[in-house]
Amino acid sequence: MATPLLSFLFLTFLFFSAHSELCNPQDKKVLLQIKKALNNPYVLASWNPNTDCCDWYVVTCDSVTHRINSLTVFAGPVSGQIPAAVGDLPFLETLEFHKQPNLTGPIQPAIAKLKNLKFLRLSWTNLSGPVPSFLSKLKNLTFLDLSFNNLSGSIPPSLSLLPNLGALHLDRNKLTGSIPYSFGTFSNVPDLYLSHNQLSGTIPHSFANMNFTVIDLSRNKLEGDASVVFGSKKTTQIVDLSRNLFQFDLSKVVFPKSLTSLDLNHNKITGNIPVEFTSLNLQFLNVSYNRLCGQIPVGGKLQSFDYSSYFHNRCLCGAPLPSCK
Ligand X SMILES: *[C@@H]1O[C@H](CO)[C@@H](O)[C@H](O)[C@H]1NC(C)=O
Contacting residues toward ligand X, per CB under 6 A: 77, 79, 93, 101-102, 116, 124, 126, 128, 139-140, 148, 150, 152, 211, 233-235, 265, 286, 288-289, 306, 308-309
Cβ nearer to ligand X, comparing 224 with 312: 312
The nearer residue to ligand X, 244 or 265, going by C-beta atoms, is 265
Sign of dihedral through CA atoms 72, 78, 80, 85? negative
- The residues near 294 (Cβ < 8 Å, ≥ 6 apart) are 272, 273, 315, 316, 317, 324
**What is the SS3 assignment for 3?**
helix
Comparing CB distances to ligand X, the nearer of 99 and 249 is 99
Q: What is the DSSP string of 29-54?
A: HHHHHHHHHTT--GGGTT--TTS-GG
Q: Which of 244, 151, 127, 229 is nearest to 183 (CA)?
A: 229
In the complex, residue closest to ligand X by CB: 101
Q: How far is the CB of 50 from ligand X (least distance, A)?
A: 28
Nearer to ligand X, 2 or 170 (CB): 170
* Minimum gap (Å) between residue 113 Cβ and ligand X: 13
Closest distance to ligand X from the beta carbon of 243 (Å): 7
Kindly tell me which of 124 and 134 has the beta carbon lying closer to ligand X. Answer: 124
Please state, in angstroms and rounded to a whole number, the distance separating the CA atoms of residues 114 and 149.
22
Q: Smallest distance from the beta carbon of 106 to ligand X, in angstroms?
A: 11
Residue 126 Cβ vs ligand X, minimum distance, rounded to whole Å = 4
Extended strands (E) in 126-226: 128-129, 143-145, 150-153, 167-169, 174-175, 191-193, 200-202, 214-216, 221-224
